[in-house]
Structure 1
Amino acid sequence: MLIQVALAVPLFRHFDYLPMASGLPVIGARVLVPFGAQKLVGIVIGHIDEAQSEVPKNKLKAILSVIDDEPIFDDRLLSLANWLSNYYHYPLGDVLSVMMPKLIRQGKPLDLLTTHWRILPSATEADLPARAHKQQAQFAMLKLHGEHGASEDVLLMEGMERSFLTMLEKKGMIERFEKPKAPPKPVSLAKLPLTLTGEQQAVVDAVIGAHESQSYAGILLNGITGSGKTEVYLQAMQHVLEAGQQVLILVPEIGLTPQTRARFASRFAANIVLLHSAMNPTHRLQGWQDCKSGHAQIVIGTRSTILYPFTNLGLIVVDEAHDSSYKQQDSLRYHAADVALYRGAGLKIPVILGSATPSLEHLKLVDDGKLSEYQLLKRAGGASTAKMKLIDARLQSTYQQTTPDGERYNTGLTDALIDAIRRTLDAGEQVLIFLNRRGYAPILLCEACGWQADCPRCDAHLTVHFSNQLINQGNLSQSYLKCHHCDWQSYIPPVCPDCQSQNLDARGMGTTRLSENLHAIFGNPQTSKTVYPIIQIDRDTTRRKDSWEKIYRQINEGKPAILVGTQMVAKGHHFPNVTLVCLPNADRGFLSADFRSPEHTAQLMIQVAGRAGRGDKAGQVLIQTLQPENPLLLKLIRDGYLPFAQALLAERKVMGLPPYRFAALVRCEAKTLAAANQALKDAIAILPKPHHLAVLGPIDAPMTKKNSRYHVQLLLLAKERRQLHHVLNHWWSQVLQLPSAKYLKLTLDIDPISW
């Protein structure tokens, strides 16, 4: 017998190897094999007779070692991998590689040992500096666990810092040791559930009914912001957890995982595992093993978690299911919500897609009878929906601010918006201002000759990153130009490189500039009777570890403050004292060339608006616009999201666009534009005929030059999904073998979300 092995190489095939003398490794196990001059870790996917191999036996190599005695990929997980490979037209070996954390791909042995810490008998508080109050407090916390110590996970949840443990170990005060993981205790309620409304109870009953009958149910939970979707998740989970099964909760952003964990931990006494890309490789490995072994009872993770193994999964919840971050944009370009529905159908378990602004694709699935829709139309606790109001920026004067030098500048906010912010703060409430553009300003312009600071590697302007407060503190590193597409950076020039003029002006507004403008108005004791904090929330301010948690705690203290944030603040956060939401730049999304932009803009606006009035106070949303007569904007404000979405669906149907057509996008990346275009022209030439597909391209990508490479794309549209994949099954592998495609990067994106 021979062994078939899938390897993480960009080839649509598997590889045959001779077994070791000890026998055949089990299917689904990892093996170390020779591959050319390399040694690679692969997955055993089959056993075959020698006669079935296309390679002569004298040319076959033997595997080097067997890493796993038991399969790490069971039949169901291998079936999922094969479906992902076939649907997304991605090599099986690469699919399996994506499904494994880094350390497993590298061949690290699996175990269920956990790190524990205990105090050595000779250690006392006197060994620590007397004034190191934080160290004294953390040592006392560890001491409470006695001579047997505690696991590192427990200590970290209690607030212990890993650096402190390492420091004590170096001092010889504590020691680490490994212990096998004990099976988790049965899940119990830590807090009684709330009383459900009739709408909420209908959803919970549907989930329980599907679970008890061991049947698949795809549920679209269409609930307005603040309608109690999380309570529905909790009570649906309770039934599954009490039956001894696991629950997977997917969230779109890393920032939501700690908040979500806290809410679920307050309801259930259970082993809750967090999984996201910011974790170090060791913790990702431990989380993967906990999912596979069943130690993890509640799993909260971002999109890649849907590819993890589960021993007894009973329910999948995809929160904010409309969010575009569920779509992987490189390597295996899967959509986590689609994979969740596929896994649910295979496991015969319920899957909940929760959203206040469902995607058009999910609404189409409801129309087709493939999802059951349940609506939550009222906010929980009797809270009223925030009222939305347009401010015509053409008819309003813009608030002018005076600098210490006596110069006046435009804040970008109308007087009406400033007055509303001031009234809200004076009432002891919080304001959220949404601006989906980080940095200080998007453009650096020379007023003398018109020069602009552009990225030398991309077709994009460099964003100005600048902070007056940090510059005044002597931190000059906070002043620079940066490309948000390739991360290229440079210093801000003192004069124009073209004409040597000093009249360089930062045009436009990012979150940093807006925060400084607001600080000058509301946070400066010289201009404001009461000084209010300005809290900036974007990738720049939340990059450091635990920074988002600290910001979140500050907001939830409930003190009057202004929150300035990007789309990070739009997703599922609960700020009970925010009563006013301002959108000072609501026009951009409705003017984009991307046909999906109106949908995504409307979702973002509704999600941000949903942060207002979530407590016991009424909320208001002010939308500052230069186009108050825009029909799409008016329909969204007057009729709400669902009628707006139905209008977009009707438009898409007439135009023959997704979700009424099925799309595949071929992207080509090359050193020259001509080479990329030629490769796609050659690809079109070998399409089978007749193919009955709409072929659009080759055309330049929305950003033609990125990171010193040129990008061109080709769009294929089909009336039927089967029709599209029938063509791709044979054509795509031929495209990759084209002579003109050599040394180019060609990728295929099934169901792309933008082009």
Structure 2
Amino acid sequence: MPTTLLRIALPTPLYRSFDYLCPSDCLVDHQLPQVGCRVRVPFGRQELVGIIIAHIASSDSDVPFDKLKPIYECLDDTAIISDELLHLANWLSAYYHYPLGETLSVMLPSPINQGKPTAKTCTFWQLIDGIDDITAQQKLPKNAKKQWQTFHALKDNPPSLSDAQIKELGINKAQLTALQDKGLIHARTDDGQLKNPKKPTLQSTPLTLNDEQQTVFLGIKTAMDERQYRGILLNGITGSGKTEVYLHAMWHALALGKQVLVLVPEIGLTPQTKARFSSRFNANICVLHSGMNDGERLQGWQDCRSGFAQIIIGTRSSVLYPFDNLGLIIIDESHDSSYKQQDHLRYHACDVALWRGYQAGIPVLLGTATPSLEQLKLAQDGKLSEYKLIKRAGNAKSATMQLIDIKQGTRSVIQANGQEQNTLLCKSSIWHIKNRLANGEQVLIFLNRRGYAPILMCDGCGWQADCPNCDAHLTLHKYPTNQLKCHHCGFCTHTPSTCPECNSQNLLDLGLGTSKLGEQLHAIFGNPQTTPQTYPIWQIDKDTMRKKGAWEAMYDRILTGEPAILVGTQMIAKGHHFPNVTLVVVVDADLGFLSPDFRSPEHTAQRIIQVAGRAGRADKTGDVLIQTRQPDNPLLITLIKHGYLAFAQILLKERQLLGLPPFTHAALIRAESPHQERTRTAISDITKRLPNLPNLAKSGMIDAPMNKKNNRYHSQLLLLAKDRKTLHTVLSEHWQDMLALPSTKGIKLSLDIDPMGW
């Protein structure tokens, strides 16, 4: 009888699996470890943790039997990687041409990759038997508010609360210790084995769907009832009630005993999404994103896998998690480019979600007010079922959009004290802002550039503050400290007081960031010395929302409805509901239309429509002012007068004429090295290696748009194919050969399938 070997995927950059012997002391119940278990193995001079992907006969191995090594140990009694998840890993590896071992590593939380136990010991806190309010009054001081809050939380949530639930309620360890020392509560632990979740119930009455919404819901419901895959593009204008359709579809899935996965593009959207779902459903809601620590991510992974998590809210990596009984996938703001992973395994969460939905036979709902051109093309080709919501929910009316020509007139304001204040806002915009604030409403001002100014320049000799590590200017940040920062590599230095080249003190900050704009707005609207009525200016971007909980606190403040000005980047442009925002000002609409990136007009239009959708979402009318130096730009005029879909159709025709995605299929090969000539040589050799085919276009060697980044040079080769099969056949046949070329030794090569830009 031939010896059976273990075929193992290891986290290495090699495009192959490895065969090992299984000694008798590594058997599980006298059997070989199951496919999907982790094992610790020798690999050269290292020890690695890998995943068993198959049992094979020794005759099927390409390694001589006497060269095979035994595994050190099996880390799991049963498989932690299901057949479904292994199937997903194989598809990801094949489609994105990425090593299987590293693909599995990307899909798993760090503790699992490190070989740590998957079962986590959980701590639960509960009242000691017989403890009541009378006993608590004898032991707790009346003014110990936080201790009383903790006591009531445990009393109102019998029989116990886990550490995670305690943390969610804002209770800290000191409060628990105080009650424990007083003999009111005690802790118990278990092995982390999760019990069956409670049956979900409704917390509040669902809203009545209008005819458009009802049509969409019935399409989703039919697919769930018939257990059929269906890719659905929900193309609804901002404020049209897409979320209510989500909620109805989610409740139907929950009622069928299914899990629901909801993807959001940014971490900042998870708190309000969870709050919205919690107010509707009494169900176990799990939140997953990169801001969580390893323990929290492992717990979330286990909750999804066991079925304990009934609603999963997460960013793009959540689509790679295991699920016990997934019934529906919803991708909110599905057009957003943040769903595309930009390093390692360069997957697109929307594509992966559609593949998982197809394999599981469940509906996948892509919701957006501004579909990507790829999604519109899929709908036109019949690969997605498109539903449109063209009416705003309730009595809300769409905001009125107006172009403001900022070439006309001055962009400065004379203050009450007679001083002149420069600003990029024109007089018309300032007049509208003042009116809205005077009416007790909020104003959102959008500028997609953080920092104080993008350029610091000497007016004497022309010196500019450039990053020493990148082909980029340093951005001036004045608050909280006066610094120059590179937004690409993280380099940071103090802002000089004089020019390093000529010692001139005439240093100019050119351009505008959210910080400078906030400073200008404060001078006009927030300075009591220059204006009789002051209003708060809230700056919302990655710089100001860096601390944990900062965004949640800001969002709560916005919801108070206090008259204020919100200044922010795309962080506040999408998905948020600000009931008292009635005016949106887009400071500079021209930047995206002047970019060399062929996708930039599409992304710019999406941001304009998304941020415009924040205005007038309740019962108040909204206005949108779009400042531009090109009021006669035909694309901009089409967007304002005829809407995003008309704008998108123009871009689709242009892309078709130019042979660009979505009418062709792209792959980007990039070489990265500290030596520029070596990257160029590597890409040139790769170009020569590839065959010349009639359906395949090659760009030849070109330097990346940012050639130098973090002291490393980047050159690239773009491949465009008329059909997907040609592209993947060429890469399957030649990619590994390219990696083995002599000129690529010591060069970091990456392959990006369906790149977002080049």
What whole-Å deviation, never above 9, does each CA across 1:127-162 have from its counterpart, x for those lacking one?
A: 99987x563354434553599542123223333246
1:144 aligns with 2:155: yes
Change in Cα spacing, 1:436 to 1:61, as seen in structure 2 (3 Å) is same
Which amino acid is 1:35 matched to? F
Aligned pair partner of 2:492 in 478, 489, 492: 489
1:99 and 2:78 correspond:
no
Distance 2:499 2:184 in 1: 59
Contact persistence 1:5–1:16 (CA under 8 A):
yes
- Aligned match of 1:135: 146
Output aligned runs, 1:156-555, within 5 Å: 156-161=167-172, 165=176, 176-179=187-190, 180-400=193-413, 408-467=420-479, 478-555=481-558
Deviation, structure 1 residue 503: 1.2
Q: Is 1:741 the equivalent of 2:744?
A: yes
Aligned residue among 88, 91, 107 for 1:80: 88
One-letter code aligned to 2:311: I
> In structure 1, what is the equivalent of residue 719 of structure 2?
716
Contact kept, 8 Å, 1:261 with 1:300, in 2: the verdict is: yes
Change (3 A) 1:416 1:86: same
Deviates more, 1:315-324 or 1:631-640: 631-640
- Tell me if the contact between 1:142 and 1:149 (Cα under 8 Å) persists in the aligned partners: no
CA distance in 2, matches of 1:201, 1:67: 50
Q: Kindly state the Cα deviation for residue 20 of structure 1 after the two structures are TM-superposed.
A: 2.4
Instruction: Give per-residue Cα distances to partners, 1:41-85, cap 9 Å, x unaligned.
Output: 100000111111111111111111111112111111111111100
**Structure 1 contact 16–53 (Cα < 8 Å) conserved:** yes
Contact 2:124 2:162 in 1 (8 A): yes
Check conservation: 1:20, 1:63, Cα contact below 8 A.
yes
Question: Which residue is equivalent to 1:15?
Answer: 18
Aligned residue identity for 2:47: K
Amino acid paired to 2:375: H
- Write out aligned runs for 1:525-674 (5 A): 525-674=528-677
Compared CA separation, residues 358 and 166, structure 1 to 2 (3 A): farther
Q: For 1:722 and 1:670, locate their aligned partners in 2 and report how far apart those are by CA, in whole Å.
A: 31
CA distance in 1, matches of 2:473, 2:180: 49
Q: How far did residue 177 of structure 1 move?
A: 3.0
Q: Alpha-carbon deviation of 1:507?
A: 1.4
How far apart are the structure 2 equivalents of 1:310 and 1:603? 32
Shift of 1:228: 0.3
| Deviation for aligned residue 1:5 | 0.3
Query: SS of 1:568's equivalent?
Result: helix
**Cα contact 2:421–2:524 (8 A) shared by 1:** no
CA distance in 1, matches of 2:182, 2:680: 63
Question: C-alpha offsets along residues 327-381 of structure 1, whole Å, 9 cap, x if unaligned?
Answer: 0000000000000000000000000000000000000001111000000000001
C-alpha contact (below 8 Å) 1:119/1:142 kept by paired residues: no
Q: Is the 8 A contact 2:695 2:723 kept in 1?
A: no
2:123 paired residue number: 115
Q: Counterpart of 1:41 in structure 2: which amino acid?
A: V
SS for the counterpart of 1:600 is: helix
Q: What are the ranges of 5 or more consecutive residues in structure 2 without an aligned counterpart?
A: none
1:59 aligns with 2:67: yes
Query: Does the 8 Å contact 2:539/2:567 carry over to 1?
Result: yes
Question: SS of 2:534's equivalent?
Answer: coil
Distance 2:94 2:485 in 1: 39
Shift of 1:170: 9.7
Is the CA contact 2:698–2:719 (under 8 Å) kept in the aligned structure 1? yes
Whole-angstrom distance in 1 between the partners of 2:185 and 2:484: 47
Contact 1:688 1:731 in 2 (8 A): no
Inter-partner Cα distance in structure 2 for 1:518 and 1:111: 53
How far off its partner does 1:400 sit? Answer: 3.6
- The answer as to whether partners of 1:10 and 1:94 remain within 8 angstroms in 2 is yes
Structure 1 position 663, deviation (Å): 0.2
Aligned match of 2:165: 154
Structure 1 residues 484-493 or 523-532, which shifts more? 523-532
1:276/1:170 CA distance change after superposition, 3 Å: farther
Conservation of the 8 A alpha-carbon contact between 1:227 and 1:380? yes
Once the two structures are superposed, residues 5-36 of structure 1 have per-residue CA deviations (whole angstroms, 9 ceiling, x without a partner) of 00010000000000120241100111111111
Give the conservation status (yes or no) of the 8 Å contact 1:401–1:521.
no
Does the 8 Å contact 1:5/1:46 carry over to 2?
Answer: yes
Q: Is 2:96–2:752's contact at 8 Å kept on the other side of the alignment?
A: yes
Gaps in structure 1 of 5+ consecutive residues:
471-477
Relative to structure 1, is the Cα distance of residues 722 and 447 closer, same or farther in structure 2, using a 3 angstrom cutoff? Answer: same
User: Residues of 1 paired with 2:414 and 2:122: CA distance?
Assistant: 58
| Greater shift in the superposed pair: 698-707 or 139-148 | 139-148
1:596 partner letter: R
* Paired AA for residue 656 in structure 2: K
Give the structure 2 partner of residue 68 of structure 1: 76
SS in 2 for 1:144: helix
Contact 1:392 1:628 in 2 (8 A): yes
Equivalent position of 1:474 in the other structure? none
Match for residue 754 of structure 1 among 725, 742, 757: 757
Structure 2: distance between partners of 1:611 and 1:60: 62
The CA distance in 2 between the partners of 1:400 and 1:11, in whole Å, is 63
**1:730 equivalent in structure 2:** 733
- Which residue type is aligned with residue 302 of structure 1? T
Task: Measure the CA separation in 1 of the matches of 2:523 and 2:698.
Answer: 54
SS in 1 for 2:267: coil
1:156 match: secondary structure = helix
| Superposed displacement of residue 495, structure 1 | 0.8
Give percent identity, aligned residues only: 58
Q: Secondary structure at the match of 1:3?
A: strand
1:290-323 per-position Cα deviation (integer Å, ceiling 9, x unaligned): 0000000000000000000001000000000000
Q: Distance in 2 between matches of 1:647 and 1:584?
A: 25
Residue in 2 that maps onto 1:475: none
SS at match of 2:261: strand
- The AA in structure 2 aligned to 1:48 is I
Q: Which residue of 2 aligns with 1:89?
A: 97
Q: Equivalents in 1 of 2:644, 2:305: separation in Å? A: 40
- For residues 634 and 438 of structure 1, what CA distance do their matches in structure 2 show? 27
C-alpha distance in 1, partners of 2:527/2:591?
Answer: 31
Distance 1:535 1:47, change over 3 A: same
- TM-score, normalising length: structure 2: 0.95
Structure-2 separation of matches of 1:673 and 1:722: 33
In the TM superposition, what whole-angstrom CA distance separates every residue of 1:543-580 from its partner, at most 9, and x where no partner exists?
A: 10110000000000011100001000011000010000
